[in-house]
Amino acid sequence: MTLESFPIPSLHKSTTTKQYCKVKANSIFKIMNLLVVFMNGISGNKTYGQTERPLPEKSELEPPSTLVWLGTYGIIRLGDKLFWDAQTHYRRGSHGGVPWVGRMTQIYNRHGLTYQFNKDFRATIGGVLRLNFTPEPTGDDKDLYDYITPEPRIWHEYLFKQEFGRVQIFHRLRMEHRWNRSNLKNSEFIYRDRWRYKIFANIPINKPRFEPGTWFFTPDVEIIMQSGSPVIDSPLEDLRIQPIIGYIASPRIKHTLSMMYTMGQRRYDGSIYRQRWIGRLNVYFNLDWRSGDSKVPIMQMLD
């Protein structure tokens, strides 16, 4: 996928830049509104007028919580175009007056097989097993909760790359099919689908191209929608905004550090929005287990 594949429309002589930007902004808002309507439709949602539930007078924005996510992302080459994608997360959150790391929240394992169709497009399919820990590890209510509950998922994603000079831009579409339940004892599993779109860029800071010793900046935005019979009025699960600073240590290892802000609707009440600040530290690595002349010394690890 090249820059020429996405031509920028020229402005008509009678159209000013200000008018053109206004038209484009209105188009984006219309698309977002249609997306919300579509997600409500495929969820089989009813409107407030068709239910006995009263319409809230106003929405509620919860105070933000604080969390820490530590992650590893591995790309292991199995063939010329086939890779094993291995991701793990260790996640903690605030609890009992201790911010950021007061309790264990999740251990997350995501694995999949990736096929690289060409240098600008790849697709992945695989499975996830996330372990969700009790929200009340201490106190009088801790016996009401199971300490750990599993959350299995099936996922598939499609990644597109564009290059504008030395800047790389990525568009990622990811679909997840998940089964999870509350940690409350005897709660039942529910099924939902997640629809995720992420756009991010890699911009080198101290060098003209990506190579060992390069610091880079990654602006990263993702919107996560959800659907399914348990989703009544909360199609927006999460909006994630994440500025990232990264460093390429070697052809096979890079590190990133970021502070991510998220906001999304509570599934049980779409008028309530949760907020989170999440400090993230990640290590990315590449392995090539092939031997001999077929071994590739440097692999793409910026996506």
Q: Which of 89, 92, 91, 99 is nearest to 63 (CA)?
A: 99
Please report, in angstroms and rounded to a whole number, the separation of the first and last CA atoms in the chain: 15
Token pair of 206 as six digits: 């101290």
pLDDT at position 33: 60
Tokens in use for 189?
């599993």
Instruction: Quote the CA–CA distance of 40 and 252 in Å, as a whole number.
Output: 43
pLDDT above 50 for 297: no
Highest mean pLDDT: which of 10-24, 26-40, 41-55, 169-183?
169-183
Q: For the whole model, what pTM was predicted?
A: 0.82
Tell how far CA 253 is from the center of its chain. 21
The more confidently predicted of residues 301 and 239 is 239
Q: What is the pLDDT of residue 6?
A: 34
Coil vs helix vs strand at 32? helix
pLDDT at 13: 41
What is the pLDDT at residue 55? 79
Three-state DSSP at 187 gives coil
Residue 37: its H or E element? helix 17-42
Query: Which amino acid is present at 69?
Result: W
- Vertex 43: Cα angle to 40 and 44 (nearest 5): 95
Stretch 119-136: mean pLDDT: 97
Residue 29: pLDDT band by 50, 70, 90 thresholds? low
Class of domain 60-294: mainly beta
Segment 117-135 shows an average pLDDT of 96
